[in-house]
Structure 1
Amino acid sequence: MLTRRHIRVKVMQSIYALHQEKNHNLQREEAFLQASMNNTYSLYIVLMGLWVALYERSQQMHTLSQNKFIRNENYSHPLFFENEVLQQIISDEALSEAISEEKFSWHAHDEYVNILYNRILQSDLYTKQASLEKDFKTDKLFLVNLYMDVIATDEQLFDFLSDKEITWSDDFPVINTIIIKLLKSLEKEKETNFLPPLFKDESDKEFGIELLRKSVLNDEQFHQYLVEKTPQWDADRIAEIDAILIKMGITEFLKFPSIPVKVTLNEYVEIAKEYSTPKSSVFINGILDTLSRDFTEEGKLKKIGRGLL
């Protein structure tokens, strides 16, 4: 679920937070980083729980449509409560248990579920879907398009969840991608794991904490490398995020022998494009590329395995 790039971003944010403190507390920041990574999984559960909340809302409306005193076909929304894919999601016991154990509950926010539900009903996508022949394939395509076009792009939903948890604003696009990919992979009568692991493996699980710790503990030494490669620059003029990303890159060069140099270069250039200034990616690429060549010539760059330089 968490890619290494996403982990790197969280480490960058933790280091930035440390720089804002008068008294650095690495242990506390490690705990925050771990909580931030765990919160990514919580957001996944919350957004999957949104499907359940929308389904329950459709059931309520269908029940109203059957009431003999207020019978109204406009209350019945079969695209929801009869959707085979949606039924597959809500019937998964492991996912249901995870949703019930999550501290955030959509039951406490019915007003927003109703707003989103009505927005879906008013969408062109919903109107077009009603005219299509109903089967598992069309049900799946409906949910995929619904998520991409209505839910994932809903700014009110983004703002609402960002207010609930400080780290969710950065996690939102990542989790949206994961959910869309999951929906596309669903097949009829095939068991699906709706609870993917937070980390790909044990090394990824340890990567974030190790990168934070080694970057912070070697900050003075790695800052000197940065200063030496930018003699024409006053250190204070280098954007703080750029300096952090460069020193994180140096950390990977010298302290993570299994990570290829090219991977480190590409990752921090891409992160800079999203989180720093327009010219930062070129600046960071130039400094890290020069440092990698210098470290190689000086025998400091020791990578394990083929093709890691």
Structure 2
Amino acid sequence: MLNRRHIRIKVMQVLYAFGGTESDDFSKDQKFLLFSIDNLYNLYLLLISLMIEVQKRSENHLEKSSKKHLATQEEKNPNRKFVNNSLLAMLKDNKQLQAKLESLHINNWELDSEYVDIIFNEILASDIYKTYLETTTSDFKEDRDFIVDVFKEIIAPNEKLYDYIEDKHLTWLDDLPTVNTAILKLLRKVKKDSSAFHFLPKLYKDIEDKEFAIKLFKKTLLNQNALTEEITKKTTNWDSDRIANIDLMLLKMGICEVQSFPSIPTKVTINEYLEISKEYSTPKSSVFINGILDKLVKEYQSKGKLNKVGRGLM
């Protein structure tokens, strides 16, 4: 679920938030880093559970409508296609998923049910829903495609839900694009006979990704002075006050990665920090960061200090 770019962003945020002073005692910062990364999974579960609650809200809606004193024929015998959606049923009946939600106390929608209503009502008013209910029966593929469209067109871009997520956890805003992408991939790939663990993906692709996060954090934090000196040598014509703090942090992380991660190609490192700077810093930051990192890489190459293993890693 978590990609390397998002890991870099998480490391940057923690280093920036805590000031990143050089010290051997970084346990508090590292604990916060891992908590922040783990909390991304909670956001994933929160959005998955929202779809389950929307299905329950639909059941409740049909039941209440059928019991109205002056219920119409349509209300007495409603189209149950949405309530019986096989993909939503798969999520609702997934015992492993339910156990995970309970163990992490993901029960937000019990207290904040108005957001379930907001999403449910938007679904009812959508053309996606109207088209889906033109027939009374469907197969798994149609059910799946409908939920994919609902998530992509209604849930993911919902502004009120966005505000709710921002209020709950500040770091979740940065996590949201990664989580939404992961959910869409899982929804599109799910099959009728998929394992119950299909919707319980691993947070890290492998143990190397978690080790990358911890090592990048530690190496950058423990070598602040040396990294600052490297940057200073290449910015003699720059007033230090004019360099954005976020740019300095990205440069330190980029230099650290070039120096301490032999298996990561320098081009990958530079491109990753350029892309992060475009999202988190000033319009000119990417040009500045590219110039400094490019100069340092060429200098390390000329002095034989670029320790890269494997072909094509320079």
Classify the secondary structure of the residue corresponding to 1:303. Answer: coil
Aligned residue number for residue 164 of structure 1: 168
- Establish whether residue 112 from structure 1 lines up as the match of residue 118 from structure 2: no
Residue-by-residue CA offset, 1:16-57 (whole Å, 9 max, x unaligned): 112288x99622111110100000011111111111111111
More displaced, 246-255 or 190-199?
190-199
Kindly indicate whether the alpha-carbon contact (under 8 Å) linking 2:264 and 2:308 is maintained by their aligned counterparts in 1: yes
CA distance in 2, matches of 1:148, 1:119: 13
Q: Please give the TM-score of this superposition, normalised by the length of structure 1.
A: 0.94
CA distance in 2, matches of 1:166, 1:63: 38
Q: Which runs of 5+ in 1 are unaligned?
A: none
Q: 1:101 deviation in Å?
A: 2.2
CA distance in 2, matches of 1:287, 1:156: 41
Classify the secondary structure of the residue corresponding to 2:199. Answer: coil
CA distance in 1, matches of 2:248, 2:260: 18
CA distance in 2, matches of 1:308, 1:20: 29
Q: 1:148 deviation in Å?
A: 0.7
Residue-by-residue CA offset, 1:105-161 (whole Å, 9 max, x unaligned): 111211221122112111222122222562222211111111111100001101101
One-letter amino acid of the counterpart of residue 50, structure 2 = L
More displaced, 159-168 or 4-13?
159-168
CA distance in 2, matches of 1:25, 1:120: 50
Kindly indicate whether the alpha-carbon contact (under 8 Å) linking 1:14 and 1:33 is maintained by their aligned counterparts in 2: yes
Structure number with the bigger relative contact order (C-alpha 8 A, sep ≥ 6) is 2
Q: Which runs of 5+ in 2 are unaligned?
A: none
Classify the secondary structure of the residue corresponding to 1:134. Answer: coil
Pairing partner for 2:158 from 146, 154, 168: 154
Aligned residue number for residue 98 of structure 1: 100
Change (3 A) 1:97 1:254: same
Aligned residues: 309
Aligned residue number for residue 173 of structure 1: 177
- Establish whether residue 203 from structure 1 lines up as the match of residue 208 from structure 2: yes
- Establish whether residue 124 from structure 1 lines up as the match of residue 127 from structure 2: yes
Aligned residue number for residue 278 of structure 1: 283
Q: 1:282 deviation in Å?
A: 1.5
Classify the secondary structure of the residue corresponding to 1:80. Answer: coil
Pairing partner for 1:244 from 234, 245, 249: 249
Classify the secondary structure of the residue corresponding to 1:81. Answer: coil
Kindly indicate whether the alpha-carbon contact (under 8 Å) linking 1:14 and 1:29 is maintained by their aligned counterparts in 2: yes
Aligned residue number for residue 188 of structure 1: 192
Q: 1:68 deviation in Å?
A: 7.2
Classify the secondary structure of the residue corresponding to 2:278. Answer: helix
One-letter amino acid of the counterpart of residue 16, structure 1 = Y
Change (3 A) 1:10 1:120: same
Aligned residue number for residue 218 of structure 1: 223
Q: 1:64 deviation in Å?
A: 2.0
Q: Please give the TM-score of this superposition, normalised by the length of structure 2.
A: 0.92
Kindly indicate whether the alpha-carbon contact (under 8 Å) linking 1:11 and 1:212 is maintained by their aligned counterparts in 2: yes
Classify the secondary structure of the residue corresponding to 1:78. Answer: coil
Change (3 A) 1:148 1:308: same
Q: 1:78 deviation in Å?
A: 2.4
Percent identity of the aligned residues? 44
Q: 1:191 deviation in Å?
A: 2.7
More displaced, 203-212 or 96-105?
96-105
Aligned residue number for residue 80 of structure 2: 78
One-letter amino acid of the counterpart of residue 124, structure 2 = L
One-letter amino acid of the counterpart of residue 80, structure 1 = F
Residue-by-residue CA offset, 1:50-82 (whole Å, 9 max, x unaligned): 111111111112222443756454485624211
Q: 1:297 deviation in Å?
A: 1.3
